[in-house]
Amino acid sequence: MLISIVALSLLSVIFGLLLGYAAVRFKVQGNPIVDAIDALLPQTQCGQCSYPGCRPYAAAIANQESDINQCPPGGEVTIKALADLLGREAKPLSSEHRPEHRPEHHLNNNEESVKTVAVIDEQMCIGCTLCIQVCPTDAILGATKQMHTVIALECTGCDLCLAPCPVDCIEMVPVIETTKTWKAPYPKTSQLIEQLRKAG
């Protein structure tokens, strides 16, 4: 009887140690659903979705704390991709998150997103710094009463600098795709779903 109790106790300790080791050794880093949602978002980090960036918004969607239609830069294309990924119904962009100043060239006839960057007419710029204050990626250079300019590689095309400009000297222009500006597209929604299934 005593031998059986000791043997069972030893086995419990051994299996406990093995399970503890396995939990540490094979721990899944991050949340694969949040990663998949974040990969579909435009990564503008503009805050127009009411969250400080794309990753927090992705986490809120994954936790069902937020809807899939709150991303103006992503538009209808991103909403449809998120709906496919999560098995939810696609819906129009939330009126609460639809900026009135959004330029028409962001969506073409097929509603596909077009990458844009801000360009400042330096002759008209009065150096008010209002655009600098709202830029989420610090892509605008300038100082008070001095000419401003945009670092094109840092600009995410979020449009947030348009509204505060008092002289309307900022324009969003499409990026001309070259070998230097081209980036590999994100995986298709079906590939992301398959990756999620494999992740368990």
194 and 168 together in one domain? no
Q: Does residue 71 share a domain with residue 40?
A: yes
Residue 181 lies in a domain: no
Q: Which domain holds residue 53?
A: 32-99+189-199
User: pLDDT for 5-33, tens place per residue?
Assistant: 888 888 888 988 888 877 777 665 667 88
Same domain for 152 and 195, yes or no, is no
pTM for this entry: 0.55
pLDDT above 70 covers a percentage of the chain that reads: 79
Residue 6 domain-assigned? no
Asked if 125 and 81 sit in the same domain, the reply is no
**How many domains is the chain partitioned into structurally?**
2
**Is residue 106 domain-resident?**
no
In 3D space, the residue among 141, 120, 132 whose CA is nearest the CA of residue 160 turns out to be: 132
DSSP string spanning 173-187? EEPPP-TTT--PPPP
Kind and range of the H or E run holding 75: helix 75-86
103: pLDDT strictly greater than 70: no
